[in-house]
Structure 1
């Protein structure tokens, strides 16, 4: 999310917290739930037109099994990015859904609204099999002592490369054991100004897409994003991480700098970028573009190939009605089950939510239909830590994104840019 939008959302979320009808009183929202009661729940899916149709079909399937439950499914907003603003405004007026899709980076803001359910006890029951979800997704859904939702999408960053460009340059294909030095050397050799071909690409829009690509390089060097409420991404590890990117962008000129977040993947698909650090969501379009591609772990440092995951969530809200709360829980439990999840995630080219799905026929079909999907699934093991779910993360991300963008465009040095971002982030993290 761009910084301006993030700040607007933060303001609205704060306004929502001071509304006249707080509901987070510490009680279980589903206490007294009657599973046979007639109830209507609202589900904001945040999906595109095609996936909205899938959502509606799944809602119908659930309602057929539970005729006492009516699920009103809608996208909730014209784009997923607009959901947070819509939710925040709804908290003030009391017009918010029982369930909503949410980016993981919104978790803290939503938890602080006072409108979320606390599912900590619910997810601890054996029937949920909470440990079957990736650790990074579980951590993202957990804010302090609360669990506010279920994983909706799990992903991670790996390295996708164009085999044809590597072969044409006479380069050996990347491997899971590659170092960042290997990556830089290959990017330099793949770059050809005469054909407008770059070795790699990076977003300089200043959005979270800019920021979260830096975190694996920071973590691999032993750095931390924050320590408590103190920003620490400007440590020596952070400076070294950003310097390694600066060398490719400024010194080698082997990195295409995308001002929009939206150009580098099409350029890869068109054969003008040799390697991109991206996630499983691109497999469908890359395959449709006819690219002969491969997928390996992110390059590493001293054998550490740690990556970052960006789980999205189904957040459940408290409407002061135990039957709505209970029905919402039961629906999401069903939707994210081993049996139903393949209809939602893998049907859309996404990774399965649960580790146990690797043994299903649907997963076998998925990895066959989407080359590289198995690597992304296995790469979840390299997601060692989540992005922080703390107040101020979204605002901090904007400051870091701006710093990275300046450095990669030659307008600032890594240390001074990160120090400035840390100074600005300190007040946001303090709340």
Structure 2
């Protein structure tokens, strides 16, 4: 109201100076007549961590939603870097967005609206049409209600795969890796591809990885970072199975069979892959889009198995959630539903389709550069640590430091490093 009153006072002052009382009466009546003033739009706030092309796509989806809801304006808030801090600050200030991208549901559970009732009465969302396993990431145990509840609708995902450099494999006369391959086969290929004179490696290992992503290595070996009880780190991070995988990777580094990524100058994996310094590496679906921009010849294949166990990949899953304190939840739900519709999923060309129907429609089951992501998505049997304990972030830095210490240590005992880290991490959770 203050801007309106201020403009009225300014107009009256001008009228007094000019003596145009008749015109003043006309202006006053125009301000007072609601039929001649355009109603203010309803603002729906949508927070995203994306930028660049993905942000533009989301803005187009917002515009399409507005076209179907006259009088509604979707305010896309691009938080970018520091997304979690900005979102937490918004909740702390009592001013959260209506709808938001979310991944860490256990941490934010108490400030999010449960969506079970919305899903039960809305046939527009078919849970069975989503890639298997995605809903578990937004399903959290509600201790007060003594039941699991859904707090988000899946919006995007990626599994982890091995990318291979076709140019390097062709020059070495090597066949491309096939599904069902093993770590032993990867090592043999890496040894054939190693070229000290060109400073080229057959495989690049990220020695400063996000612990979340590193769970793929441990699961494939039969290990894990955290026990099913959500508290026990000892006996898991430092289990014989976990130690075996660490020792195997450490030996590859010590024998100079593989190169290091994530440390030092020139260790950017995209640059090394494109410049033929690394023939194989592990990454998610976003890397596929980067290599396509570089016009690089590459292929993808599922993760190799280790010691006879089936390979498992961790999934990175994003979902749309709703603020529990929101004042326009029906509108927020309509936006979430539209964002999850086939129409919007088709628009999100930077994401792997979360809807099986759209993936089938686009022939992705036959696309060799996409099919492995869906196959690895079905491989995940374990639960990521953060879903087992909302306080996992307290222990994650300890695990990160231990991984880096193991890989950067030339003579260190990886077993002893993991034993110390498991004890320290568990103390932070208890």
- Calculate the TM-score normalised by the size of structure 1: 0.81
Give the whole-Å Cα distance in 2 for the aligned partners of 1:420 and 1:146: 36
2:242 aligned residue: 238
Give the whole-Å Cα distance in 1 for the aligned partners of 2:217 and 2:52: 36
Consecutive unaligned residues in structure 2, runs of 5 or more: 1-40, 142-147
Alignment of 1:105-254 (within 5 A): 106-111=104-109, 114-125=110-121, 126-144=123-141, 145-205=148-208, 207-208=209-210, 211-227=211-227, 228=229, 229-231=231-233, 232-254=236-258
Cα drift, residue 253 of structure 1? 4.1
SS of structure 2 residue aligned to 1:136? coil
**1:45·1:73 contact (CA, 8 Å) conserved in 2?**
yes
Tell me which structure has the larger Cα radius of gyration. Answer: 2
Cα drift, residue 189 of structure 1? 2.1
Counterpart of 2:369 (choices 338, 350, 372) is 372
Cα drift, residue 68 of structure 1? 4.2
Alignment of 1:5-404 (within 5 A): 39-75=42-78, 77-79=79-81, 82-102=82-102, 104=103, 106-111=104-109, 114-125=110-121, 126-144=123-141, 145-205=148-208, 207-208=209-210, 211-227=211-227, 228=229, 229-231=231-233, 232-259=236-263, 263-301=268-306, 302=308, 304-321=310-327, 324-344=328-348, 347-348=349-350, 350-360=351-361, 363-364=362-363, 372-388=369-385, 389=387, 390-404=389-403
Give the whole-Å Cα distance in 2 for the aligned partners of 1:124 and 1:200: 47
Cα drift, residue 404 of structure 1? 1.2
Cα drift, residue 371 of structure 1? 5.5
1:12 aligned residue: none
**2:252·2:258 contact (CA, 8 Å) conserved in 1?**
yes
SS of structure 2 residue aligned to 1:340? helix
Give the whole-Å Cα distance in 2 for the aligned partners of 1:54 and 1:291: 25
Give the whole-Å Cα distance in 2 for the aligned partners of 1:332 and 1:320: 14
Give the whole-Å Cα distance in 2 for the aligned partners of 1:97 and 1:266: 37
Consecutive unaligned residues in structure 1, runs of 5 or more: 1-37
Cα drift, residue 397 of structure 1? 2.7
SS of structure 2 residue aligned to 1:214? helix
- Calculate the TM-score normalised by the size of structure 2: 0.81
State the aligned residue count: 375
**1:155·1:351 contact (CA, 8 Å) conserved in 2?**
yes
